[in-house]
Amino acid sequence: MTSSAAASNSTASNAPAGTLGANHPLNDGRTSDSPLITAYRGGTPSRRPVWFMRQAGRSLPEYLKVRQGVAMLDSCLRPELAAEITLQPVRRHDVDAAIFFSDIVIPLKLAGVGVDIVPGVGPVLDKPVRTAADVAALPTLTWEALEPIREAVRLTVAELGKTPLIGFAGAPFTLAAYMVEGKPSRDHLGPRTMMHADPETWAALANWAADTSGMFLQAQLEAGASAAQLFDSWAGSLGLADYTKYVAPASTRALNHVRGLGAPLIHFGTGTSELLVAMRDVGVDVVGVDYRLPLDEANRRLGGTVPLQGNIDPALLSAPWEVLEAHVREVIAAGSHAPGHVLNLGHGVPPETDPTVLTRVVELIHSIPAE
């Protein structure tokens, strides 16, 4: 099979037609009027919504306890354990959303790609994907293989009540970057070179990653998640021209799997201040902004067209409280320029963060009336 044939042999054929049933939280009244969904849709929420990326785990002692002796990817694929970890920060911090506990390489593992999380390193593939033959040999993710994900979402949503669950997936570029390099990379030279040196193979790989991520998102939303976020962790290594030509079409393709479901879609990347308009234009409802760019400037660049999410600097979580409080208030003021604003960090929760600080930040945010 050629690489172009591999691209056309889309995993989308394995997925049933997307629909959110009458008992879905967005349709039965549980989450449709929640602060999070209201803000994502540009309305005025009953209180300022806040959640944190990487809030499920790492900094929580209860997470470390339940994860003891369980490998990372195994913990993601045990539905009861994944649900428990997802729920822990909601119980502790009173955040306005749960973020599904998983990993961006889980769809690869479920498809049959050899990958594991190596402590201190990150995702490592058994064999990098660097040629047309490598792409053509990639296995196909099946709808049946996603059942552990759907079950974990169902268990989580049953406990969350009116608190929305956010589903997530890695964006195609980030997945493909791991696959080409075979491990984390600082500059992502491998995938950036492939785009130009072998664009047909790159397109085939990006489309494979798009359909795999798209199915992963679809499984979460149809099982009960009320919103979905596409994470492009490594897009900041790209210039605007390369992003627009070689990456944005694949991100659009991934989101096409869930675009008609009616759930808010969020796009977030790190180091992507110069890409915000292009990231919005892949077709999302909300744009996440990292800590490098003030929200009022992000809103200006986006023309006031979409709600924003972000962007408390994680480094300030260990600063004196008066410094952190002033920063949170500045973020709220800057976010007030946008059509809607959900408070978040401008990246994930550092593992050394004191959980009581996160709880105090949530209390502060909730104490400031929504406008």
Which structural domains are found in the chain, ordered by start?
3-367 (3.20.20.210)
Percent share of the chain, pLDDT over 90: 89
Closest CA to 267 of 130, 124, 166, 135: 166
State the pLDDT confidence band at 59, using cuts at 50, 70 and 90. Answer: confident
So what's the pLDDT on residue 15? 43
Q: What's the rounded Cα separation, in Å, for the pair 238 and 27?
A: 39
> 165-170 and 98-99: which strand pairing?
parallel
So what's the pLDDT on residue 14? 43
Mean pLDDT of 116-123: 90
How many CA atoms lie within 13 Å of 118's alpha carbon, on the beta-carbon side?
10
Determine what percent of the chain falls in helix, strand and coil, rounding each to the nearest 5.
50, 10, 40
Whether the per-residue pLDDT at 298 is higher than 70: the answer is yes
Whether the per-residue pLDDT at 7 is higher than 90: the answer is no
Tokens 């502060």 correspond to 364
Active site positions, annotated: 54, 58, 67, 103, 178
Q: What's the rounded Cα separation, in Å, for the pair 46 and 240?
A: 38
State the pLDDT confidence band at 10, using cuts at 50, 70 and 90. Answer: very low
Selected residue with higher pLDDT from 255 and 187: 255
Q: What's the rounded Cα separation, in Å, for the pair 107 and 172?
A: 11
Question: Cis before residue 256, ω within 30 degrees of 0?
Answer: no
Q: Which residues touch 224 (CB under 8 Å, ≥6 apart)?
A: 24, 25, 153, 154, 156, 157, 165
Selected residue with higher pLDDT from 11 and 19: 19
So what's the pLDDT on residue 18? 58
Q: Average pLDDT over the chain, rounded to whole?
A: 93
